[in-house]
Amino acid sequence: MFSSKIIGVGHYVPENIVTNKDLEKLMDTSDKWIQDRTGIKERRFHSHEKGSTAKMGVKAAKIAMERAGVTNNDIDAIVFATLSSDYYFPGSGVLVQHQLKMGTKPAIDIRAQCSGFIYSLSVADQFIKTGMYKRILVIGADTQNIALDLTTRGRDMGVLFGDGAGAAVLERTEDNKKGILSTHLYTQGEFADLLCIREPGSGHDRIIYPDMHKNYLNIHPQMNGKFVFKNAVMRMPEAIKQALKTNNLKVTDIDMLLTHQANLRISQVVQKFLRLPNEKVYNNIQKYGNTTSATIPILLSELWEQGKIKEGQLYAMAAFGSGFTWASALIRW
């Protein structure tokens, strides 16, 4: 039986920094409100001339491959997570596959929003465990800025998100005490409408129709923030505890907790529920806002750059988001 381990991680965020003060000019909000309620100080927005979800994904993937010491020829498949594909169809995975010059190697798109990276990690892990593939590029990338309603009407969502991408190279190992120890995935589709963008979608006469822009509740992200908050702080610790139980491990065995970066207050409540000290938790939402499927690999990549990822350490990861979907992963580095 094979296992899979991460051998390289990378990330990319656009250069354009948008501070809370910049948002104050667009809507009735304040730096204080945003920092008090979410912890966010600034985020990155890319311009469509310079970037797209796929292009950001390619940049992150190249860094991950370089750090892993592999080239595009060594990769057997791509698993790409996003909710903001470049095209309505096909998904951005195929665009990345082309831009990385990967011949006819397969690209699979995963739509699990903020949980997308852990879902993708799980899919890649299964392919490696079965022996079908040896090395897989897992990417999470999202462009949120173009869908946000950056006026007072959309301020509850408008201040939360940023753009970015993160990637990891997964490789087969025969040492099954190392690498991805487990992944746990969950979905509760009954709450799909509580965090979504409804249009363009297939439940309408036409994808684009006259006066569509007037239907702002459907074309911008909508969320029941309090309900999402309550579920996020309950589900992420639950998923981590399940992962620990599956592996006969305890919370005190965790060396580093990485939670999806949706709101610093959510991450702090999860940390409190798990009773983990600050030195065992890493957050970066202050700099990037919620980068959706990119948040977990960006966290990993920053820790890699800081030289903080050490052989033998136990990493616990959890994400929660639209769907609702949530997930956890336990990794022994």
- By CB under 6 A, is residue 186 in contact with ligand ACO? no
CB closer to ligand ACO out of 38 and 120? 38
213 is catalytic: no
- Residue 292 lies near ligand ACO (rule: CB under 6 A): yes
Q: Is 260 a residue of the active site?
A: yes
Residue 53 burial (CB count, 10 A): 31
- Tell me whether residue 196 is exposed, middle or buried, using C-beta atoms within 10 angstroms of its C-beta: 0 to 12, 13 to 18, 19 or more: middle
| Among 145, 231, 283, 290, the one annotated catalytic | 290
Shortest separation between residue 295's beta carbon and ligand ACO, angstroms: 9
Q: Is 319 one of the binding residues for ligand ACO (CB under 6 A)?
A: no
Note whether 143 binds ligand ACO by CB under 6 A: no
Query: Whose Cβ is closer to ligand ACO: residue 85's or residue 322's?
Result: 322
Q: In angstroms, what is the minimal distance from the CB of 266 to ligand ACO? A: 6
Q: How many other C-beta atoms can be found within 10 angstroms of the C-beta atom of residue 6?
A: 23
Residues numbered 224 to 243 that lie near ligand ACO (CB under 6 A) are: 225-226, 228-229, 232
Residue 64 beta carbon to ligand ACO: minimum distance, rounded to whole angstroms: 23
The residues annotated as belonging to the active site are 114, 260, 290
The footprint of ligand ACO (CB under 6 A) covers 29, 33, 37-38, 113-114, 155-156, 159, 195, 225-226, 228-229, 232, 262-263, 266, 290, 292, 321-322
